[in-house]
Amino acid sequence: MTKFSDLNLNPKVLKAISEAGYETPTPIQAGAIPPALEGRDVLGIAQTGTGKTASFTLPMLSLLARGRARARMPRSLVLCPTRELAAQVAENFDTYSKHLKLTKALLIGGVSFKEQDILIDRGVDVLIATPGRLLDHFERGKLLLTGVQVMVVDEADRMLDMGFIPDIERIFKLTPFTRQTFFFSATMAPEIERITSEFLSAPARVEVARQATASETIEQGVVMFKASRRDREGSEKRRVLRAIIDSEGDACTNAIIFCNRKTDVDITAKSLKKYGYDAAPIHGDLDQSQRTRTLESFRNNELRILVASDVAARGLDVPSVSHVFNFDVPGHAEDYVHRIGRTGRAGREGKAFTICTPRDEKAFDAVEKLIQKEITRVEYPSKPEERKQSETKSSQSKSSERKDRRAKTEAAPEPAPFVAPEKETPNRPSEKSGNRGRSRGRNSGRDYGRDDKKVVGMGDHMPSFIALSFEERKAS
């Protein structure tokens, strides 16, 4: 079996790996590190949770161990789709470079430009950035990419989903064509194939698993759910979610719940907290400091449930997540693989449950087609106390309705006997006298209900002009 000591890494890097408690590389690491150390471009394809970050971090540190950075000209560049993933890559560099005198800078949104400019001006060996913030610094004239020796694109398929591909192409063109490139992705869409063929030179292709497959250590299940009414779907889905969490009991030590929309992330987290669950939201609209605090609390087991949008689905390394719950079926089938990949990592067992409504069935069929596996159907685990409570409420409401109807019937007055109106109404003004307004308008309120008056309609008392019109039709 291959060990890290067999991979010709820098001795100081090997020392840091040993101190971190690792001896044996994962398949993607064993396949990618040797060609990377030879100076070749690398195209790595592997499912999430297989150690892709170390696949490029370790050879980069060995290659950069010699040399010195210049002001505003980083020696290497790592592009990540999200702030959280960029921060995680930075932590990996800190772990494995502690015996090397290398500098790094993290360029992400939500952080002051001034602080980042100071780091860049000093010169950095490793620049880790999201595409948007990197281009912001470049356009402000604070950054030059002509000194980049090694460039990494991490989670390329997520870059595609988030619309970063034009930015990636632009950044590639700003770096020297002599650079060494590491390109990592879990899936290979046609657009990504095009970019790799254009910007990578005879890459070593390392593929350790079938594209877009879920780990065999993850037990998957789906609850096919239909709301009683459309306007109650959200609240009833949240009730189903709570029932599934409760049915797992103590086995659910911590969990990530994924929602498609940011608003649903906030609503679901608030609902869970209302019912006594230890939960907090994380999505792109939150302040960066708040996102960082929430993620750290989850990693340190201070927070049990993390409710997230897909910003947390890719690349976040929390090794011991016991459960993943898909509150919504993801719009892209590939996202399902990345979501459930947060559990069952590093050979551990995990569970993933999805709630599927009728309108999500098409997207769910695409998921099963992608992973080439039928997901187990799970019955809605309604709790006995919930059923008893709903039955009690239903019987109480029906009893209350019967009592209300009985009370209204008993309180209703007896109808007054019918009295026929008088046949004659003396002193009624003539229809042709010009005073026909007496029977309605302002005077009607004054005359209505008098003993010598009766309510009249059409028939014998029809206005003369209407009668005239009928006579004209007959004549014609």
In a domain, 416, yes or no: no
Token output for 179: 């650079």
Choice between 413 and 89, residue whose per-residue pLDDT is larger = 89
In a domain, 402, yes or no: no
pLDDT for res 284 = 76
pTM: predicted TM-score of the whole model, two decimal places: 0.64
In a domain, 138, yes or no: yes
Let me know whether 333 and 453 are in one domain: no
Query: Could you tell me which of 215, 160, 153, 216 has the C-alpha nearest to residue 179?
Result: 153
135-164 per-position pLDDT tens digit: 999 999 999 999 999 999 998 888 887 888
Lowest-pLDDT range of 13-27, 224-238, 248-262, 337-351: 337-351
CA 467 vs CA 218, 326, 425, 475: distances in Å: 86, 74, 22, 13
pLDDT for res 211 = 55
308-349 per-position pLDDT tens digit: 987 655 556 677 899 999 999 998 887 888 888 888 876 788
Let me know whether 239 and 200 are in one domain: no
Last residue of a domain, one of 207, 231, 264: 207
pLDDT for res 208 = 80
Let me know whether 314 and 459 are in one domain: no
**CA distance linking residue 107 with residue 120, whole number of Å:** 10
Let me know whether 334 and 441 are in one domain: no
Q: How confident is the model at residue 438 (pLDDT cuts 50, 70, 90)?
A: very low
Q: What is the CATH number of the domain that holds 123?
A: 3.40.50.300
Let me know whether 238 and 351 are in one domain: yes
207-225 per-position pLDDT tens digit: 886 656 677 889 999 999 9
Q: How confident is the model at residue 401 (pLDDT cuts 50, 70, 90)?
A: low
In a domain, 366, yes or no: yes
pLDDT for res 212 = 62
CA 150 vs CA 120, 146, 182: distances in Å: 17, 11, 8
264-304 per-position pLDDT tens digit: 999 999 999 999 999 999 987 888 788 888 988 998 899 99
Q: Which domain holds residue 238?
A: 218-386
Let me know whether 94 and 175 are in one domain: yes
State the total domains in the chain.
3
167-218 per-position pLDDT tens digit: 999 999 999 999 999 999 877 888 889 999 999 999 999 988 665 667 788 9
52 Cβ contact list (under 8 Å, min separation 6): 28, 44, 46, 154, 184, 315
Choice between 192 and 110, residue whose per-residue pLDDT is larger = 192
In a domain, 425, yes or no: no
Let me know whether 295 and 436 are in one domain: no
Inform me whether the pLDDT recorded for 306 exceeds 80: yes
Last residue of a domain, one of 188, 207, 226: 207
Let me know whether 259 and 169 are in one domain: no
Express as a percent the part of the chain with pLDDT over 70.
76
Token output for 447: 């005359």
Let me know whether 52 and 96 are in one domain: yes
In a domain, 28, yes or no: yes
Last residue of a domain, one of 181, 207, 233: 207
Inform me whether the pLDDT recorded for 244 exceeds 50: yes
Let me know whether 31 and 66 are in one domain: yes
In a domain, 418, yes or no: no
DSSP states of 303-327: -SEEEE-GGGTSS---TT--EEEES
Amino acid at 111: V
Cα-Cα end-to-end distance for the chain: 110
Contact 219, 350 (CB under 8 A): yes
User: Residue 329: what are its φ and ψ, rounded to 5°?
Assistant: -75, 125
Instruction: Indicate the average pLDDT of the chain.
Output: 82
Let me know whether 175 and 302 are in one domain: no
Q: How confident is the model at residue 82 (pLDDT cuts 50, 70, 90)?
A: confident
Choice between 83 and 399, residue whose per-residue pLDDT is larger = 83
Let me know whether 50 and 141 are in one domain: yes
pLDDT for res 48 = 64
In a domain, 393, yes or no: no
pLDDT for res 466 = 61
Sheet with 76-79, edge to edge strand ranges: 104-107, 126-129, 76-79, 150-153, 180-185, 42-45, 204-207
Query: Could you tell me which of 207, 211, 239, 228 has the C-alpha nearest to residue 355?
Result: 239
